[in-house]
């Protein structure tokens, strides 16, 4: 994973040499979709969370741009707030991510010396760091070390990694002012390769395995509704069949600093009459 992260940064840095370059900030909201959602697969609008970050963008042509971004947000959800209190599950997590994304500028409308409107599609590859926690009365507890679905026990999966890859994709529109400032509006989603963003998956769990193998606290978070483990066959599935997602609705603002190498000819400082 560390090699992948380093490769993303090196690729962007090498490609940015002698390219038309922007730096900017990101502000918006994040949205969780997963096993604690009003529907099996949907958008959990009850828990919009603020998100922010920084990015750099290079523009090798009028059609294509590439962007490297670093972002932070929180994600959270609670069964009691989405209408399924009988299950009693909840989670929250801080989330840090880095993304290398390409932008395909569909068309341009307007005057490049004043204002241009540029709709775009975007996609790429990235990584994210998360750490789901569950609430026990007034205390938040890290869930991954507990093994709430039997992780680490014989015949169960290994503990899931807290740093993983994702695939971002989406689109938006950019407003370019006087070839210097760019204001962007965008909506993007993250395809994940884990179903444990919320610590909940569709794995089959036997309560007594978790209780005896990982302890009372793991069992309590695994299934809060079990009161008498000596009675009954407590085999259950905590979540649904779909992988977790998260989404961003962002506003971006960037300033064109020209070519990083100092070569003239970009749409940046000192050369306002050239289109990129």
CATH number at 2-149+159-201+244-259? 2.40.160.20
Tell the burial category of 10 from Cβ atoms under 10 Å away from its Cβ (0-12, 13-18, 19+). Answer: exposed
- pLDDT class for 265, splitting at 50, 70, 90? very low
Q: Which carries the bigger pLDDT value, residue 35 or residue 258?
A: 35
Q: Could you tell me which residue, 52 or 137, shows the higher pLDDT?
A: 52
34, 38, 44, 49: CA torsion to nearest 10: -100
Provide the β-strand partners of residue 69.
55, 99
Residue spans per domain, the chain: 2-149+159-201+244-259
Q: Where are the beta strands (DSSP E) in 34-63?
A: 49-58
Evaluate whether 159 touches 36 at the Cβ level (below 8 Å).
no
Average pLDDT, the chain: 85
DSSP codes of every residue in 140-153? EEESTTT-TT-TTS
Q: Record the pTM.
A: 0.83
> CB burial class (10 A; 0-12, 13-18, 19+) of residue 270?
exposed
């Amino acid at each position: 994973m560390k090699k992948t992260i380093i490769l993303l940064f090196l690729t962007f840095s090498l490609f940015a040499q002698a390219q038309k370059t922007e730096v900017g900030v990101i502000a918006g909201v994040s949205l969780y979709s997963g096993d604690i959602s009003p529907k099996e697969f949907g958008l959990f609008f009850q828990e919009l969370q603020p998100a922010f970050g920084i990015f750099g963008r290079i523009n090798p042509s009028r059609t294509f741009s590439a962007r490297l971004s670093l972002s932070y947000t929180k994600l959270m959800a609670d069964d009691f707030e989405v209408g399924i209190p009988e299950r009693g599950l909840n989670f929250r997590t801080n989330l840090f991510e880095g993304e290398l994304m390409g932008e395909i500028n569909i068309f341009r409308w307007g005057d490049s010396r004043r204002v241009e409107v540029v709709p775009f599609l975007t996609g790429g590859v990235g990584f994210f760091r998360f750490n789901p926690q569950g609430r026990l009365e007034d205390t938040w507890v890290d869930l991954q070390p507990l093994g709430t679905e039997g992780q680490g026990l014989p015949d169960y999966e290994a503990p899931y990694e807290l740093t993983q890859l994702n695939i971002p994709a989406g689109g938006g529109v950019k407003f370019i002012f006087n070839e210097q400032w760019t204001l962007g509006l965008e909506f993007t989603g993250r395809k994940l390769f884990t179903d444990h963003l919320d610590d909940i998956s569709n794995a089959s769990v036997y309560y007594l395995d978790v209780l005896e193998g990982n302890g009372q606290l793991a069992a309590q978070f695994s299934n809060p509704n079990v009161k008498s483990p000596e009675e009954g066959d407590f085999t259950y599935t905590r979540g649904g069949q779909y992988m977790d997602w998260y989404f961003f609705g962002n506003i971006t603002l960037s300033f064109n600093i020209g070519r990083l190498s100092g070569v003239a000819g970009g749409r940046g400082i000192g050369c306002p009459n050239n289109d990129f």
